[in-house]
Chain A
Amino acid sequence: MSFYGLVDGSQASLTKYLGALSGVDQVGADARAAMLATRSIKTTSKRWAINTAISMVDLTTLEGADTPGKVKALCNKAVRPDPTDSSVPSVGAVCVYNDMVAIAREHLDLIGGGHVGLAAVSTAFPSGRASMPVKIQDTQDALDSGATEIDMVIDRGAFLSGDYIGVFNQIVQIRELCGSRAHLKVIFETGELVTYDNIRKASFLAMAAGAHFIKTSTGKVAPAATAPVVLIMLEAVRDFYQMTRVRIGVKPAGGIRTTKDAIKQLVLVNETAGPEWLTPALFRIGASSLLNDLLMQRMKLDDGYYASPEYVTID
């Protein structure tokens, strides 16, 4: 199966498609990202940005120590981030390991959180080092348990060894598995792909293979969602839209902890892909501690003085 008719599934057609991409100059991309980081977002636009950022958070717990209790608490927080303020929107999704999906599904439905997405990390997350049947079974488990979003990792080893068609085919298979049941986010682990050329190439590869979202990182490897990396991916979805008229989403994950970080991400989106991408349908931020900082900054805007962590819940 192929999407958009860009690649027919053969190694030759994929090589030709990726070969047509222009290179990325690292220094220039860094400079552009650094310039956009100087944007000063104040008052009304800050309030809008904080609310938008909250609605884009993929509230994540990906620990070996995750328990049903922890996941349920996360679901509560996701649906009502600030129990004292109903004007705070729900987050975009909760993101858990796939053995926790069933618990999250049940709890979200119980608390009226059906509108919040349920993302499962899949395909032998985070390393991706497993056989394809295992990856397929992994994904199938998550789907069967009620996941609405699949965050799969690519095989970085295959990518770095030049086996692009192998990476492509794995994405195609997982996408077919998702069918109409779940959105597919494809994680590159940009910290392991290293170069911006690779990140641009991986972006186009994943989009042609049917990804709904392209995602920077697992959160387990640093560096993760640096501003230039997100810039490169936003440029890729913008260019892909010019080619296909299809908008692919972007999800930075890893290292975005403060409101300032989040707003910088929104600025990147606004001035790179464009305002059309400023929706949870096309931009998510994978994070755990970020949400509380967004809530505290929101309180500061409301109250006019600085907030204390004592007033936000720690789940």
Chain B
Amino acid sequence: MSFDYAPAPESRAIVKIKAKYGHFIGGKFVSGSKHFPTINPATEEVLSQIALAGKADIDAAVKAARKAYTQIWSKMSGKERGKYLFRIARIMQERSREFAVLETLDNGKPIRESRDVDVPLAAAHFFYHAGWADKLEFAALGTSTKPHGVAGQIIPWNFPLLMLAWKIAPALAAGNTVVLKPAESTPLSALLFAEICQQAELPAGVVNIVTGDGSTGALIVNHPGIDKIAFTGSTEVGKIIARAVAPTHKSLTLELGGKAANIIFEDAAIDEAIEGIVNGVFFNQGHVCCAGSRLLLQESIADEVLEKLKIRMAKIRVGDPMDKNTDLGAINSKEQLLKIQDLSAIGDAEGGQRWSAPCEFPKKGFWFAPTVFTGVTQAHRIAREEIFGPVLSILTFRTPQEAIDKANNTPFGLSAGVWSEKGSRILWASQQLRAGVVWANTFNKFDPASPFGGYKESGWGREGGRHGLSTYLKGVGHE
């Protein structure tokens, strides 16, 4: 017998999923009219029926948020607002296992990641921002400390709870009330968060959660009663939202796509760089806007790194997301799987050489093996377009300047990685890279104190840190 790890599934007994959910408006769960299913992408099991919010629902949510803003939240001192955020953070910690299990069931991400990354970071975001609530004058750099009012927030399916925390925590700390729409395929953790708002006795209407699809999102974006839109998602949808918001008074922050270069210089710490490459593009099935999906290898070490990378990729454990030993879970939806398959087929057609780690998939669910393409150049579509899956395009370079030029040769500018044991080269490259986040000798690290967001077409504004908080104030860089 060899050391095959026996199944080590996390128990799902801790979560109670209702057969049907409504919206959370004005502090209460209200039933919806139309519903659609949300499924477990690892099993295709229907988990629950989710309400599809229409115009009346959004009107009600905005009205509740406005009322809460005018009558309560805008009158409350920052000190008191902060205490609610602290309460939320604490309850999230207390119920962290429940959140982790629910997130993994609905999203398909490995339980190890939802348990060790998503949920603790989400709670940390509330803790961090709680402390800002009564210190806004120090965040505003001498400009306005006034909130926008009602914020409409639309979040993606890749980190459902964490993106909720990134949105709601700063909005509330700055004194806004919110109407938040979780992604169509991953609404359950947001609905559990609504329960936490109740347990925290957050005043009714300060947080409103409405579920639905793109049409619901459009209703929020175009609602005249909303003062601020915050969106995380694709650049394509981001531009549509920007266009819709452009003629209005609404403030807008966008956190969009990326095609990050991960540059490995020949003097890098190779084994840690291999881990960085793996973590960069296979973390969360590659469903990460800042994924290091373009690997730039210095030619002198390209063969060695590729060989080591393949050995390492063969050890990635693909399968049941609820198994505590799974590294790569299910692709979040059939639609996304098709997109990954299509772009990979284009990679083949364009002459890229595909290699996938050998792995066996469960019979049901949506799966894609960790994959690399070699022989890729800047002209290939798989080197330019965001695949949002576990697919890595590998390019080579000869000189540091060539690496930077290739890294920056994209309309995106969200993140980048650079690996070298030479301090001055690290700082030089960090300075040259046109990206909002540069991970030097590490990758895919996140923290509430650390501003995150993109240059160019990767977005507007930052999330996290003072910079992120300030996007919820009418001050710096805003009209």
Contacts and interface: CB of A to CB of B under 8 A. Distances in A.
Contact of B272 (A32, A52, A271): A32
Interface stretch (A41-49, A111-119, A154-162, A203-211): A41-49
Contact of B6 (A28, A41, A270): A41
Contacts of B405: none
B272 A45 contact: no
A231 to B, nearest CB: 9
Given A27-B442, A28-B275, A22 B7 contact: no
A35 to B, nearest CB: 8
B169 to A, nearest CB: 26
Nearest to B276: A28
B269 A45 contact: no
A41 B324 CA distance: 9
Contacts of A44: 6
B315 A271 contact: yes
Given A25-B272, A27-B442, A28-B276, A40 B3 contact: no
B8 A40 contact: yes
B421 A23 contact: yes
B112 interface: yes
Contact of A22 (B112, B268, B315): B268
Which among B1, B5, B315 has the greatest number of chain A C-beta atoms within 10 A? B5
B1 A22 contact: no
B69 to A, nearest CB: 42
B348 interface: no
A163 to B, nearest CB: 24
B5 A266 contact: no
Contact of A29 (B268, B271, B307): B271
B336 interface: no
Contacts of B447: none
Contacts of B6: 41-46
B2 A275 contact: yes
A220 interface: no
Interface residues of A, number: 29
B442 A45 contact: no
A38 B315 CA distance: 15
B269 A24 contact: yes
Nearest to B8: A40
Interface in A87-105: none
A134 interface: no
Interface string A113-138: 00000000000000000000000000
A48 B5 contact: no
Contact of A38 (B4, B112, B267): B112
B325 interface: yes
Given A38-B112, A38-B324, A40-B324, A24 B271 contact: yes
A195 B63 CA distance: 60
A39 interface: yes
A208 B276 CA distance: 29
A138 B304 CA distance: 42
B202 interface: no
Interface string A263-289: 000110011000100100000000000
Contacts of B325: 39-40
B429 to A, nearest CB: 16
Interface string B296-320: 0000000000010000000100000
Contacts of B112: 38
B441 interface: yes
A31 interface: yes
Interface string B275-304: 110000000000000000000000000000
Q: Most chain-A Cβ atoms within 10 A of its Cβ — which of B112, B272, B275?
A: B272
A293 interface: no
A278 B5 CA distance: 14
Given A28-B441, A38-B116, A39-B325, A49 B272 contact: no
Contacts of B267: 22-23
Nearest to A45: B6
A22 B269 contact: yes
A25 B269 contact: yes
Nearest to A242: B307
B116 A39 contact: no
A29 B3 contact: no
Nearest to B112: A38
A270 B317 CA distance: 13
B168 interface: no
Contact of A278 (B3, B271, B315): B3
A235 interface: yes
Give the residue among B3, B116, B271, B421 with the most A Cβ atoms within 10 A: B271
B272 A28 contact: yes
B469 interface: no
Interface in A140-167: none
B421 to A, nearest CB: 4
Contacts of A270: 3
B270 interface: yes
A266 B275 contact: no
Given A38-B112, A41-B5, A32 B275 contact: yes
Contact of B2 (A25, A31, A42, A278): A278
A89 to B, nearest CB: 14
Interface string B103-147: 000000000100010000000000000000000000000000000
B442 A275 contact: no
Contacts of A242: 307
Contacts of A278: 2-3
A238 to B, nearest CB: 8
A128 B112 CA distance: 44
Nearest to A43: B6
Closest 4 CB pairs of A and B: A28-B272, A40-B8, A40-B324, A25-B272
Interface of A: 22-25, 27-29, 31-32, 38-46, 48-49, 52, 235, 242, 266-267, 270-271, 275, 278
Interface of B: 1-8, 112, 116, 267-272, 275-276, 307, 315, 324-325, 421, 441-442
Given A28-B442, A32-B271, A40-B324, 14 more contacts: A22-B269, A24-B269, A25-B269, A28-B269, A28-B276, A29-B272, A40-B325, A41-B6, A44-B6, A45-B3, A45-B5, A235-B271, A270-B3, A278-B3
25 contacts: A22-B267, A24-B269, A24-B271, A27-B441, A28-B276, A28-B441, A28-B442, A38-B112, A38-B324, A39-B5, A39-B325, A40-B8, A40-B325, A41-B6, A42-B5, A42-B8, A43-B6, A46-B6, A48-B1, A52-B3, A267-B3, A271-B315, A275-B2, A278-B2, A278-B3
